Structure 1
Amino acid sequence: MSARRAFDELLEGTLIPAFCSDPARRMNASGFVARSNTLSESDAADFLRAWQAGLPVHQGRGQYLVGAATVREQFFTSGSKGPAERSFTLWLEPIITVGAIGRLHFDHGWPIGCLSAQSADWAFDVVATLDRKRAIIAGEVKKTRKEIDDLIFYMKQYSAEPGAIDSMSGKIRNGYKKVVSLRKLRAPVLWLVGPDQYEHVFEVAYSRDGMMEFIPTLPLALAFKLDGAAPNTDV
């Protein structure tokens, strides 16, 4: 059986019923918008591996904690509150996020207790830490390749402007917020993950005046090491 078919069975048999179990949502399975399920084969495989290992822990109402996270993830977004029976769609980013955390755990050796979905300031979707406090990897997930490419463009722009003021909106502001958060986290590795394992890995060099440089590197930089995944370089 293909990973995508297995995911569809999990979706219909487990994920949708769990999400619809809360009567306050006024939803049932017939309200799911099937065309929203555009998950790729590789993303389905990554999610299933994490799911089968029990990495997402159900908290009720179709909400899950992943790793050391304190913020609950859900895999659907809701339609208008107006109709008696509300529609809902698959939310690709959390699905890819769970798969990405699984990859860090299974492929790169990170203990699950060092991994979490969502940073404390909500700026990043994936964080890998040592000692539960020192951020090593800051990861962000987007549902399209273009969104990843746009994020890289704007993060590079604002990483060279320590004094930039938050007066923008949309994807521009999103890039700005990531840079502001990264300056606080000082994570040495930035991991940007799109659909179908489209990804970019950067080592981050920090200067004393607040500027940053993103240096493209190989996925080997994501590997777990007790002394950190990459040097936290000051320039």
Structure 2
Amino acid sequence: MTSHIHRFRQLVYDQLLPEFCNDTKRQFGIANFNEKSIRISELDAGNFLRAWDGGLIQHVARGLYKAPMSKASEQFFSSGRKNTATGEAIAKEARSVTLWLEPVITVATLARLHFEFGWPKQLLGMQSADWAFDAMAFLSSDASAEHIAGEIKKTDAEVEKLIQFMQALSRSIDPATASPRGAEKNAFKKVKALNLRKPPLFWAVGPNGLSYVFEVGYGADEVLWFSEASEARLRCPLVQA
């Protein structure tokens, strides 16, 4: 039986990588792809393929993909800078290309929302307009606020740090004067977006099924709090149990 990772690898080489590298504005050269960057779990590969087979994402152009409610397109690869060590910029073909794991897990997350929790694919999206959230579920196609706001990280440690920062920042920093940096800045961006649009659920997702679901409560002066909840809360309320 063919493993999910094996089939995912085939999809990368047969379609995803050529779409990205051979674009006329890139022409990076497929030979420069770092095969070792395909560090994906069997579970995440399987869920990505479920989303792929189920038509949850569509190719827009130039190796960029969107879901129906996406506010921006996603790419599955990142490219290194030109090598200028000799003082001369060399051809684009020399840029290194690696698999970008977070968008891959984002697509895998859409598969879970659709196939496990009953969300219609037309109500799922990747990337919020303010780039605060990676995966979103909406109650209608014209909704301006997410019902589920999801953030994807490529390692367990990054997920844990994000949650730690978000919980601390939501209670202790004045949004009007805050100027956090680094990972705190990323976490604070999500706290601000939650306060702005007030989705009832926040979902932090990592590799290989790592998942933390939170019910979000909103108080005065932009204070919010997180209550850890079961994944059962992710079930689409539009679908009868």
Report the TM-score when normalising by structure 2.
Answer: 0.90
Matches within 5 A, 1:10-29: 10-29=11-30
Q: Distance in 2 between matches of 1:186 and 1:54?
A: 29
Counterpart amino acid of residue 176 in structure 1: F
Q: In proportion to residue count, which structure has more strand?
A: 1
Counterpart of 2:100? Answer: 91
Deviation track 1:186-234 (CA, whole Å, cap 9, x = no partner) reads 010010000001010000111123211100110001000139xxxxxxx
Match for residue 118 of structure 1 among 118, 127, 136: 127
Q: Distance in 2 between matches of 1:212 and 1:59?
A: 37
Alignment pair present for 1:105 and 2:117: no
How big is the shift at 1:91?
A: 0.3
Contact 1:166/1:173 (8 A) holds in 2: no
Q: Distance in 1 between matches of 2:25 and 2:136?
A: 32
Counterpart secondary structure, 2:148: strand
> How many residues were matched structurally?
227
Counterpart amino acid of residue 137 in structure 1: I
Counterpart of 1:35? Answer: 36
Counterpart of 1:233? Answer: none
Contact 2:77/2:99 (8 A) holds in 1: yes
Contact 1:160/1:211 (8 A) holds in 2: yes
Question: Unaligned regions of 5+ residues in structure 1, if any?
Answer: 228-235
Q: Distance in 1 between matches of 2:180 and 2:217?
A: 25
Counterpart of 1:153? Answer: 164
Deviation track 1:141-168 (CA, whole Å, cap 9, x = no partner) reads 0000000000000000111135143322
Alignment pair present for 1:135 and 2:136: no
% identical equivalent positions: 43
CA RMSD between the two structures = 1.4
Report the TM-score when normalising by structure 1.
Answer: 0.92
Contact 2:71/2:128 (8 A) holds in 1: no
Counterpart secondary structure, 2:7: helix
Question: Unaligned regions of 5+ residues in structure 2, if any?
Answer: 84-89
Alignment pair present for 1:193 and 2:205: yes
Please say which of residues 51-60 and 175-184 is displaced more in the overlay: 51-60
Q: Distance in 2 between matches of 1:40 and 1:201?
A: 21
Q: Distance in 2 between matches of 1:202 and 1:16?
A: 35
Counterpart amino acid of residue 64 in structure 2: Q
Q: Distance in 2 between matches of 1:116 and 1:166?
A: 29
